[in-house]
Structure 1
């Protein structure tokens, strides 16, 4: 009996400490939260490369960002998306950008939406093109680096299964390794991957190449660059490794 009581006392002393240590050491798997956007308040933190293509609208009591014009008057300096909304949240290196998106374009093989990241200016950034079909330009991860967009995809899938419903898309980037991973809805494995170290940091955004889409509940997690960032819209200060 005495041994049993001693064992209970020992467990009472040691078990809480062990549980606390496990809880402390368990990784969260998430980067620090940088900014969130649900479009319910004033929209002062976005830059639209073609302002006529974008507006915040009410949909069933919810406010969303609608990229509603297919034919854009914006002429990018190089072959790249025509519809880009740049979020003026802080620039980041490592990042996790998550958003809800609904394609509003009539169905066809090139139906798409894009996640923008590493953005320096209209001639220098990355984007993940989530296209319904997969070929050399559709459903790929691209870089725009003072020239027409160039595919940097390492792996992709057979195509993004667009319909008229809301979906969750996410891009995760690790700067040190160069790893880029793109996720669709609740799938555990990335639908696209790439490895590239051209841009060390940048802003993020959303858009389409030449279609239409609605966006909501955008969240940015990330790590600020280790160098001062006064501005990221001038090619002469494009950060590189």
Structure 2
């Protein structure tokens, strides 16, 4: 077969990066309810027909469409906080109806609210004694029988709201200073899930911005156009986005967690020995663990895999922090009998700026319904099995700005064709701005996931790039493939997968990206901006890996 070639030419230059050092502040969780306990204890309802039912997992459903309906929870003394919830409208009676998220609730007739309307608008409003005032409005997609993530923040006199991480509406109003949270419908039946209330925080820069050039050489196989002065990195859907913060699926609310914060709010420790490292990663509670120098992880009875407990940030110091000989396990012990997220699922993990190499098994293994994990700016190579494997019902994960090299089976999403019970509807992962540098295959290979978003990655000399099977959905955009035998394929292992592609560049590749079926647009879940694919060969080698955050 003749090779597909798209010529791209121009000189590749150095990338100048603006760095802002941020001190992470704690955002305490004030309240959460995923309704998996089968009840709505703590909620007070008014109007409508409310019940807890199963929709994949437990949800709070309001099934009436003939009137207003509200459900309230929390403390009347809460002042500054962000409330997020997933909302699925299921039926409307009439036109311009809505489902809403409430904040600073005084009573059933007085509160701030964010209303997602059936005319494809979103409104930031207040209700005073039953009389409503619109504070801000904008476009938003309203889709029946689809989940939408609503976020409403109140901080002092500032009120901000967004849908699916989109552009925020903002207004200033001082009518209500404190109050409960809630959900509501107007002539709309809807389900609500994963309600999380976090105290508002405002991390501030601990150092002024500095500019430093990167001297990392580009290994671009063909010259590419000079990048724009400030190539954009996908923004987090937080309001506003913060430098050095997670993005992608790691920021989407779910399972009682609003976003990924790692060890924020806990002690910061620096470790340089095996004993100290293994001690701190296993401790309960939040910790920021700074790794200094090279730490050798033992094999022993763990096969070289060492478990990380919830609420941890593990981050390398400088460009020389290394874990060798073993890997990191994020997840409780394996049990095929568990088919829904358990209360003790590991969550809220950040792994950044580490070289991890030479493990006898996986370098990083995420399993057993672990969620809200951010794996960023690492150098990953020479593992005995996977470099980053994500499996057994894990969910809401972002893998960004890593360099994968000298590795065969790079990153697997979903480990087995027979594991549908744990995996269907989960395994949602974002891969962006990674350098798949001669990593042979599985970059990634995906089963069962409804959506894996793969964008702005640089593929260099791989056997194959991306594979989709078992009805998984892959959204592939803005990537650059050089000398990849099969950039993207839909496989026959179990049922066929689904794959859509947008704005990719293929150079010296033997096959096109296979396209099959439909896949949800990631922009319905979180906000991001894809870089032009033509700058990827210079942008990614200069920015991916260790020593670059």
Normalised by the size of structure 2, how large is the TM-score? 0.31
| In 2, Cα distance between equivalents of 1:186 and 1:159 | 11
CA RMSD across the alignment: 2.3
Shift, 1:85, TM fit: 0.4
Alignment pair present for 1:122 and 2:108: yes
Alignment pair present for 1:148 and 2:135: no
1:132 to 118, 124, 144: 118
Distance change in 2, residues 1:91/1:222 (3 Å): farther
State the partner residue of 2:152: 171
**Greater Rg by CA:** 2
| In 2, Cα distance between equivalents of 1:152 and 1:186 | 19
Shift, 1:83, TM fit: 0.9
Alignment check: 8 A CA contact 2:62 2:189 kept: yes
| In 2, Cα distance between equivalents of 1:117 and 1:212 | 20
Alignment check: 8 A CA contact 2:123 2:138 kept: no
State the partner residue of 1:31: 27
Alignment pair present for 1:102 and 2:84: no
State the partner residue of 1:14: none
1:65 to 57, 60, 64: 60
Shift, 1:106, TM fit: 4.8
Shift, 1:147, TM fit: 4.8
1:44 to 38, 41, 44: 41
| In 2, Cα distance between equivalents of 1:183 and 1:139 | 8
User: What do the CA deviations read for 1:164-207 (whole angstroms, capped 9, x no partner)?
Assistant: 211211011111xx1111111133x31x2221111110001001
Higher relative contact order (CA 8 A, sep 6+): 1
Alignment check: 8 A CA contact 1:118 1:125 kept: yes
Instruction: Give structure 1 stretches of 5+ with no counterpart.
Output: 1-21, 73-81, 224-241
| In 2, Cα distance between equivalents of 1:111 and 1:64 | 21
Alignment check: 8 A CA contact 2:103 2:154 kept: no
| In 1, Cα distance between equivalents of 2:119 and 2:147 | 19
State the partner residue of 1:54: 50
Q: Secondary structure at the match of 1:219?
A: strand
State the partner residue of 1:158: 139
Shift, 1:218, TM fit: 0.6
| In 2, Cα distance between equivalents of 1:90 and 1:217 | 21
Shift, 1:221, TM fit: 1.0
Alignment check: 8 A CA contact 2:75 2:179 kept: no
Shift, 1:97, TM fit: 0.3
Shift, 1:66, TM fit: 0.5
State the partner residue of 2:179: 202
Instruction: Give structure 2 stretches of 5+ with no counterpart.
Output: 1-20, 201-549
| In 2, Cα distance between equivalents of 1:202 and 1:48 | 16
Alignment check: 8 A CA contact 1:47 1:88 kept: no
> Normalized per residue, which structure has more helix?
1
Alignment check: 8 A CA contact 1:105 1:111 kept: no
